[in-house]
A and B are shown apart, each in its own frame.
Chain A
Amino acid sequence: MSAPAQASSDRYPGEAGVEVANITKSFGPDEARVTVLNGVSLTIRKGEFVSLIGPSGCGKSTLLKVVAGLSDADGGKVSINGKSAREASREKAIGLVPQSPALLPWRTILDNVSLPISINPGANAGRKLRDPKEILTNFGLGKAIDRYPAQLSGGMQQRAAIARAFVFDPEILLMDEPFSALDEMNRDQQRMGLLDFWQSNQKSVLFVTHSVPEAIILSDRIVLMAAHPGRIAEIIDVDLPRPRNEALYATDAFRDLEGYVRNALRKVMEAAHV
């Protein structure tokens, strides 16, 4: 807690990370078209941890899919260090942590985490690949490297999935509610693990979550989204000092911010019902 408070905006001054400009997307047949994203613009600076939070149907997962290049927007532009999402994936610039661990059950944990290095090896040139064993040790899975996913707990599996996204040193990590399938105690342990690891390896992260405390403890900024149509309602700076740890939960600053975010979230949800 002794580190000076650092405004997210000046961690890497002048370096563009991810630029999301005026994204629009709708689904369904012409006569019953639902606008899922309506003019969403967002910047994630290099090394910044940004959370997306909002009620169901606000399009946060869709936005993540658009940034990942897994889904095409109807309008607008995504640029990852100046490249389109497609170009970025060609260069393996995107690390995805899906909602379920999605580990391959026939591969050991070590082989699962090594997978992104062996896939599309042409894009490995000139990047700082990590040693899969070392990264697994950092994630507390050093003793599990030769085990198979089915032999690990859900929390350990999800940690392996996060290690898999960090191992090939992507420029941005996209995490889609990675802890949502875990029980609350396990979730807290996993989010602390991620916090620790991220604080010593500050990468740009876009993190979709349902949990307000999770968003606050992890993020530099929280993007609050509203539903119908999905749009950004408010962007909240989390001016809490780093490095952070569990002790932060008990501070007044944390509670004040939690109250503020919950209130903002409530307003967004009430507005949707009017």
Chain B
Amino acid sequence: MSSSIAADVAPKAKTASPMARLAGDWLPPAITFVVVAVLWQVVALNNPYVLPTLESIGNSMAGDPHMYWANMLVTCQEIVIGAGAGILFGFLLAVAMSELPIIEKAIMPLIVVIMVTPVVAIAPALVVAFGFGMLPKYIVTGLVVFFPMLVNSLAGLRDVDQKALDVFKTLHASRWETFRDLRLPGCMPFVFAGLRIAMPLAVVGAAVAEFVAAGQQAGLGSLVTISAAQADLPVTWASIALLCLLGVVLVSLLALLRKRVLWWSDADVIGR
């Protein structure tokens, strides 16, 4: 109890400034959101065929939560499996390329060719090749995140502190020791920069995969196309809102993970 009292007392001495800071941090964006919501309602009430009202979107979600939940799970599955594999493969290939430059020389041109080909164009071909199951969707989602992961990880593995590398060399560190103790931890800021790009792209990838590689007609992306074709605007916008929520959750989770893994990279987190 005594500790909780102490914890209660301590911040009270400076109540004003954290509150003010909180207000300073949260108030401006909150106002922006309120303004956008009001504008939305004004447009929606005057143009019912352009935008649904916010309450109709809410009612749609509340009316059939199970349907939205089931579709969200399908999209999540595409992101977890597809983007997960793309991220892992991008990172592992970067490791292989940094350890064996011949691998980079041999396959980087091919990867660039694949990456400049629009994913939207590849997707229908993937459906033909791999059928209407989940596989083409995994591939499309994975492809989208693969390149930023590869490029960032590779940059990170190369951006090793040369002076520290000299110390490792004079100790005759093995390749594995140099990787484990120097390159791998050292590349993490770049890996997280790659993940920061890859996470929102993963949501885009999953939605696009459902648009073009439709097949099973499940997932939030499919829900958007189907409901839009039927002019069922509340469902369309509810699905868009959930895709947006998915992206926000992914980016927030990433920020939490970054704080855990990369505390050493942000000087102000450590403090003096």
B62 within 8 A of A: no
B172 and A89 within 8 A (CB): yes
Number of interface residues of B (CB under 8 A): 23
- A106 to B269: give the CA distance in the assembly, Å: 13
Q: Which of B79-87, B177-185, B202-210, B218-226 contacts the other chain?
A: B177-185
Q: Are A104 and B181 in contact (CB under 8 A)?
A: yes
* Contact yes or no, A116 B171, CB < 8 A: yes
* B265 engages A105 (CB within 8 Å): yes
Establish whether residues A100 and B163, one from each chain, have CB atoms under 8 Å apart when the complex forms. Answer: yes
Residues in B neighbouring A118, C-beta threshold 8 A? 181
Q: Which residues of chain B are near A96, meaning CB under 8 Å? A: 166-167, 170
Closest B residue, CB atoms, query A103: B164
Known: A119-B177, A120-B177. A89 touches B167 (CB 8 A): no
- Is B130 an interface residue, CB under 8 A from the partner? no
Per the 8 Å Cβ criterion, residues 70-127 of A in contact with B are 70, 89-92, 94-96, 98-100, 102-106, 115-116, 118-120, 123
The answer to whether B166 and A104 have CB atoms under 8 Å apart is: no
> Which residues in B have their C-beta under 8 angstroms from that of A115?
181
**Given A70, A91, A102, A150, which contacts B264 in the complex, CB threshold below 8 Å?**
A150
Q: Give the shortest distance, in Å, between B232 (CB) and chain A (any CB).
A: 52
Docked-complex contact A89 and B169, CB < 8 angstroms? yes
Output the least CB separation between B271 and chain A (Å).
8
Complex interface: chain A residues within 8 A of B265 (CB): 105
- B64 is an interface residue with CB less than 8 A from chain A: no
Contact assessment for B170 and A120 in the assembled complex, using a CB-CB cutoff below 8 Å: no
Q: In the docked arrangement, what's the CA distance between A179 and B272, Å? A: 22
Q: Which of B166, B181, B186 contacts A119 (CB 8 A)?
A: B181
Contact mask B96-137 → A, CB, 8 Å, 1/0? 000000000000000000000000000000000000000000
Q: Does A197 contact B (CB under 8 A)?
A: no
8 Å CB contact of A95 from B170, B173, B174, B264: B170
Cα distance A98–B165 in the bound complex, in angstroms? 10
Given A104-B164, A106-B264, A119-B177, are A68 and B185 also a contact pair (CB < 8 Å)? no
Q: With A115-B181, A148-B270, A151-B272 in contact, is A102–B173 under 8 Å at CB?
A: no
Kindly state the separation between the CA atoms of A233 and B163 in the bound complex, as whole angstroms.
29
Chain A residues with CB under 8 Å of B8's CB are none
Which of A119, A150, A168 lies at the interface centre, i.e. has the most chain B CB atoms within 10 A of its CB?
A119
- Bound-state CA distance A94–B270 (Å) is 33
Partner of B171, one of A92, A102, A103, A106: A92
**In the bound complex, do residue A70 and residue B166 qualify as a contact, i.e. CB atoms below 8 Å apart?**
yes
Inter-chain contact A148/B264, CB cutoff 8 Å:
yes
CA distance A234 to B270 in the complex (A): 48
A150 to B270, Cβ gap below 8 A?
Answer: yes
User: Which of B170, B174, B270 touches A70 (beta carbons < 8 Å)?
Assistant: B170
Query: Contact at A99–B163, with CB atoms within 8 Å?
Result: yes
Q: Measured between alpha carbons, how far is A92 from B172 in the docked complex, in Å?
A: 7
B264 surroundings in chain A (CB, below 8 A) = 105-106, 148, 150
Which residues from chain A contact B89 at a C-beta distance below 8 Å? none
Option from B170, B174, B185, B270 in Cβ contact (under 8 Å) with A151: B270
Q: Are A120 and B173 in contact, with the CB atoms below 8 A? A: yes
Distance (whole angstroms) from the CB of A17 to the closest CB of chain B: 16
How far apart sit A91 and B186, CA to CA, in the bound complex (Å)?
Answer: 26
Kindly list 6 other residue pairs between chains A and B, CB separation below 8 angstroms, not including A148-B264, A150-B270.
Answer: A91-B172, A92-B172, A96-B167, A98-B163, A119-B168, A119-B173
Q: List 25 A-B contacts (CB under 8 A).
A: A68-B169, A68-B170, A89-B171, A89-B172, A90-B172, A91-B172, A96-B170, A98-B166, A99-B163, A100-B163, A102-B161, A102-B167, A103-B164, A104-B181, A104-B182, A104-B185, A104-B186, A105-B264, A105-B265, A106-B264, A118-B181, A120-B173, A150-B267, A150-B270, A168-B171
Which residues of B are in contact with A by a Cβ distance under 8 Å?
161, 163-164, 166-174, 177, 181-182, 185-186, 264-265, 267, 270-272
Residues of A participating in the B interface, judged by any CB pair closer than 8 Å: 68-70, 89-92, 94-96, 98-100, 102-106, 115-116, 118-120, 123, 148, 150-151, 164, 168, 174
